[in-house]
Amino acid sequence: MSSLLCSIVRQPSRSKSIHQPTKAINRFVKLFSSSVPRHKGLVLGVYEPGSEEGQFLLTPAAQKFNEQVSGKLEKVLKSSAGKKLKCGSSRVLYGIEHEDTEITSVAVANLGKQDVDFDEEEQIYQGKENIRTAVASAVLLLRNSGETTVEVETCGDAQAAAEASLLSLHSFDELRAEKDRKPSVNVTLFAPETTQGSHVAENWTRGEILAKGQNFARYLMESPANRMTPSIFSEKVSESLSQLPNCTVHIRDQSWAHSMKMGSFLSVAKGSEEEPKFLEIDYKGGKADESPVIFVGKGVTFDSGGISIKPSANMDKMRADMGGAACVAGSLQAAASLGLPLNIKALIPLCENMPSGRANKPGDVVTAMNGKTIQIDNTDAEGRLILADALCYAETFQPRLILDIATLTGAVMVALGAGVTGTYTKSEPIWNTIHTAGMITGDRMWRMPLLKYYSKQVTKADLADVDNVGKKKGEAGSCTAAAFLQEFVNTKEWIHLDIAGVMMNTDDVPYLGKGMSGRPTRTLVQFLELLSQQ
């Protein structure tokens, strides 16, 4: 085997010794650890050739590195092994000596074709997605190779590279034995890419903030329901957001909800032993007299379906039925960290939906904060009941706009799957703004109909003003749910996001891994930023 091909062979894994080190060895290691050379991995990007006969094109950072190693990087890529590198994939190279002696492995990430921009058919900035996918692949390969320190070049978009790095490395394993947890990896921007006066470092930091916001949402969603009750959720969010600039968190209790006449919200909560909470978060980044943008997030920390109980299969996933609340919390964390120049208020009703002698029964009628009566024909359609009161409360603040987000219906999963978030609004400016935001972040939005046809389905209740499922049960469930919510909103600038289809990730988004996705947190932040520029 030639020395050239040897450079792409993985090193043997750094396995632990089968013998326990003695105290003497421990002292020796501690004494001389400072003199032992450290090691780190490096992620470099390459573009696919313009033709099959062509060679991979190096990014500026990769080209500079290649010059420093006497062209060895390019030689490997010209080999037959290099040609097998597909778009979005990566390969770890070893044995490439560099002036930075700490670099022991280089992961080359295929970014696809150069100068790829917006894909009209797919409604996405494909170049950014290629970067996220390829960088995530490279970072994970380096972690699996045993690297605990990784530097990543911009690959043409420092923000996208940072997002991919932190999102791909996220894992919820704090409840596992320490030996079974994935190793932590410190990821930083490849220093030679940062030049004085550029925005590279700033964009990298922005990407980190956005990824941390989404990872916070993923943490909240993934946590077991007994460890993420309404009270614990409130505490976790308060701990995270209260320390941020211009951000205050108020945790309202059950008696407050009673005083506000939130009968619809409280009717869902009464079936559980867990006390409901209502989170009100204020971020004051704009002028004092500016109307706030209001985010409302569904916060059902566990949804059994109530008396209309769900099938037991996959019911454990309903710990993430507070995905809307989690995304709102994550987006507020990112918005405050970025210092966006606008006022934001988040309203999060939190409770469990459980069956008991006190739970809602099919046919019950409850009264919402605005005085409308609601006939509950299905207790598993509880998310819209808690959102109804939160939307009524949102109206009292004369908002600039109201956005509500919820894992609301299984119907949207049937209609759209995990490809996009179902979006309902009659406001063209709001739709255009959030549609653009989704194109940028890769978390796309898809507009669904909000017609009088669907409103008629929910306003023809036998016993009350509105019915929580509508008269044509099993038909257009996501549309009738949106129509139901519309009955509790007067503000014309209103948008509803049904995120049930994007709640979990299997292999849908390559840079997220399996588990609760935290989607579309980054799109919410991008939406807010676009609003602040209008």
Domain annotation covers residue 491: yes
Residues 274 and 178 in one domain: no
Query: Are both 256 and 173 inside the same structural domain?
Result: no
Range of weakest confidence among 19-28, 79-88, 174-183, 511-520: 19-28
Total domains in the fold of the chain: 2
C-alpha–C-alpha distance, residues 91 and 137, integer Å: 9
Q: How many CA atoms lie within 13 A of 490 on its CB side?
A: 10
Mean pLDDT of the chain: 90
- Res. 101: pLDDT tops 70: yes
This prediction has a pTM of 0.91
Closest among 314, 357, 328 to 497, alpha carbons compared: 328
Closest residue by Cα to residue 322 from 243, 435, 220: 220
107's CB contacts (< 8 A; 6+ apart) are: 41, 42, 43, 44, 90, 91, 92, 93, 138, 139, 141, 142
Residues tagged active-site = 310, 384
What is the rounded CA–CA span in Å between residue 23 and residue 455? 74
Least confident of 20-24, 389-393, 418-422: 20-24
Residue 283: pLDDT over 70:
yes
When pLDDT is averaged across residues 428-437 and rounded to a whole number, the result is 98
Distance between CA 139 and CA 168 in Å, rounded? 8
- pLDDT band at 98, cuts 50/70/90? confident
Q: What is the pLDDT of residues 454-488, one digit of tens each?
A: 999 999 999 999 999 988 888 999 999 999 999 99
Question: DSSP readout, 200-246?
Answer: HHHHHHHHHHHHHHHHHHHHHHHS-GGGS-HHHHHHHHHHHHTTSTT
Tell whether the model's pLDDT for residue 31 goes beyond 50.
Answer: no
Q: Based on the fold, state whether residues 289 and 430 are members of the same structural domain.
A: yes
Structure tokens at 111: 């970014």
C-alpha span between 389 and 257 (Å, rounded): 9
Q: How large a percentage of the chain has pLDDT more than 90?
A: 82
In a domain, 509, yes or no: no
322 and 377: one domain? yes
**Pair (164, 268) in one structural domain:** no
Identify whether 157 is part of a domain: yes
Residue 93's domain comprises 33-194
Q: Are residues 246 and 180 in the same domain?
A: no
pLDDT for 198 equals 72
pLDDT band for 275, please (50, 70, 90 cuts). Answer: very high
Q: Are residues 245 and 325 in the same domain?
A: yes
The pLDDT-based confidence of 29 (bands split at 50, 70, 90) is very low
The stretch 185-192 carries a mean pLDDT of: 88
Residue 396: CATH number of its domain: 3.40.630.10
- Domain-located, residue 20: no
Q: Say whether both 400 and 260 belong to one domain.
A: yes
Answer yes or no: do 54 and 170 share one domain.
yes
In-domain check, residue 80 = yes
Q: Both 170 and 243 in a single domain?
A: no
In this prediction, residue 55 carries a pLDDT of 79
8 A C-beta contact, residue 299 and residue 351: yes
Letter for the amino acid at 246? N
Residue 11 has pLDDT above 80, yes or no: no
What pLDDT band is residue 22 in, cutting at 50, 70 and 90? very low
Q: Looking at residue 51, what is its pLDDT?
A: 63
| 138 & 241 share domain | no
* Domain CATH code at residue 178: 3.40.220.10
Residue 71's contacts (CB-CB under 8 Å, 6 or more residues apart) are none
Residue 82 pLDDT level (bands cut at 50, 70, 90): low
Last residue of a domain, one of 194, 227, 250: 194
Do 114 and 257 have their domain in common? Answer: no
Burial 136-164 (b: 16+ CB within 10 A, else e): bbbbbbbbebbbebbbbbbbbbbbbbbbb
pLDDT at 56: 87
Domain boundary residue, one of 194, 228, 249 = 194
- Six-digit token pair at 471? 């008269």
- Residue 213 in any domain: the answer is no
pLDDT of res. 2: 35
| Domain end residue (candidates: 169, 194, 219) | 194
Which range among 32-36, 374-378, 470-474 shows the weakest confidence by mean pLDDT? Answer: 32-36
pLDDT greater than 70 at residue 193: no
Question: Using omega within 30 degrees of 0 as the cis cutoff, is the peptide bond preceding 230 cis?
Answer: no
The whole-angstrom separation of Cα 347 and Cα 279 is: 6
Residue 447 — very low, low, confident or very high, per pLDDT cuts 50/70/90?
Answer: very high
Residue 507 pLDDT class (50, 70, 90 cuts): very high
The answer to whether residue 351 is domain-embedded is: yes
Does 85 or 421 have the greater pLDDT score? 421
Instruction: Tell me, yes or no, whether 13 lies in a domain.
Output: no
- pLDDT 10s digits, 206-265: 999 999 999 999 999 999 999 999 999 999 999 999 999 999 999 999 999 999 999 999
